[in-house]
Structure 1
Amino acid sequence: MKHFSEISPMAERIIDVAQGLIQQQGYNGFSYDDIAKLVGIKKPSIHHHFPRKEDLVSVLVQRYTHVFRGELLGIEGRHASPVERLRAYAAVFEQTFNRDKRLCVCGMLGAESGSLPESAADEVARFFKVNLDWLAQIIGDAQHAGLVTKNCAADSLAQTYLSALEGAMVLGRGMRTTQGPAEIAQTFLSTVSV
């Protein structure tokens, strides 16, 4: 399997289209035919870059995780306060949701994990681990500063927060409302603040 940093501009275009399809329809909701039509190429050209759908999705999630890590570093660079970092984290989900009620790639794929190929499921799990580790650190910092309750372990609060944000996207789409992750984040943060 290729690493996302080794792909060509055309492969990058294929991944961009596949990402949008996953965010709207999930892993099982699109085919190489769908991508070929949207990119304007023939299906064998996609197979040249990604012999199997599993390869495409694994590389896509690698790239998504890398970009998300960059967002986390950017949040750290822009916000000193751990609570402000948590708000900024929710804003990343809000931006995704505001694009035609798209879901987080890994939130969508996580819901389908039982039908994902193992390599793709492993990449999705890695995305969640990166996020949970970062959130637990930030929440731990907030607890140490006396800004967030110590009644729950930081890793439990991290799981709750990430679950709330991912769930807010699903609920917002399902209810066809504009309420997204930002409002849910505000409720969560006001609940755990000291």
Structure 2
Amino acid sequence: MNDNRSRLLEIAEGSVQRTGLKALSFRTLADEVGIKSSSVHYHFPEKADLARTLIEQYRDRLFLELESIAASDAPLRNRILAFVDVFARVAQEDRICLLCMMASEFAVLNADNQALLANVFTNLENWLAQLLENNRASLTTELSSLEIARLAITGLEGALLVDRVMRNSDRLNAQKTALLQLVKLPLTEATVC
């Protein structure tokens, strides 16, 4: 990938995760990379083109990591912790999940990007639901795997937003605790006094 294009995407992603897509300007991007504004338009003719590329790039990285979590032979508790850690790492960088930030500005996205974003969230819910369903015997709830997945993702995304306002990680930690409460302790852990 072209170095300028890679750098533009890196800076744009960080900017969107901190202040949103609407606040992002091609002029500022150009200044930060050290190129002309017209060069930004060369790579991304419209902001919608940049938004699409950002969503796709984020999606691809996210699902690569999720595939690794799903393929692990670790207990479900550890895989849930790894999943929550994906969100926690974003918060540690004083960012919001790109998907959440794009969702908060859903009205400014074009129809194609709205559909893409909805598809990514659906796939994320389905990924977590499948992980849970594959480990159904480890769950302590009668909720369906999809219901748990929807609650978890909504809770984690919301926790990132509110924790940012409150300048702590209390809500993200509460989400992690709640998710872990849905998983039975392995017998070796459950019997230890």
When normalised by structure 2's length, the TM-score is 0.88
2:149 is equivalent to residue 155 of structure 1: no
1:9-34 C-alpha deviation (Å, 9 max, x unpaired): 32121111110011001111111112
Distance 1:109 1:76 in 2: 26
Out of 130, 140, 146, which is 2:123 matched to? Answer: 130
Partner SS state of residue 193, structure 1 = coil
User: AA paired with 2:70?
Assistant: E
Residue 139 of structure 1 deviates from its aligned partner by 1.4
**Matching residue within 114, 132, 146 for 1:121:** 114
- C-alpha distance in structure 2 between counterparts of 1:126 and 1:42, whole Å: 34
1:88 aligned partner:
82
1:83: Cα distance to partner? Answer: 2.7
How far is the alpha carbon of 1:82 from its aligned partner?
A: 2.5
CA contact (8 A) 2:155 2:175 kept: yes
Partner of 1:34: 28
2:97 to 101, 104, 108: 104
Residue 4 of structure 1: aligned partner: none
Larger Rg: 2
**Per-residue deviation, 1:178:** 3.7
Residues 13 and 39 in structure 1, CA contact (< 8 A), matched pair in contact too? yes
Separation in 2, partners of 1:88, 1:178? 16
1:165 matched residue in structure 2: 156
* Percent of aligned pairs sharing the same letter: 28
Unaligned residue ranges in structure 2 (runs of 5+): 185-193
Q: Distance in 1 between matches of 2:170 and 2:73?
A: 25
For residues 119 and 59 of structure 1, the distance between their equivalents in structure 2, rounded to whole angstroms, comes to 12
Which residue does 2:64 correspond to in 1?
70
* TM-score normalised over the length of structure 1: 0.88
Amino acid at match of 1:93: F
Counterparts of 1:170-181 in structure 2, within 5 Å, are 170-179=161-170, 181=172
Structure 2: distance between partners of 1:81 and 1:182: 20
Residue 22 of structure 2: SS of its match in structure 1? Answer: helix
Gaps in structure 1 of 5+ consecutive residues? 1-6
What residue identity is the alignment partner of 1:94? A
Write the deviation string for residues 82-103 of structure 1: whole angstroms up to 9, x where unpaired.
232111100011011101x200
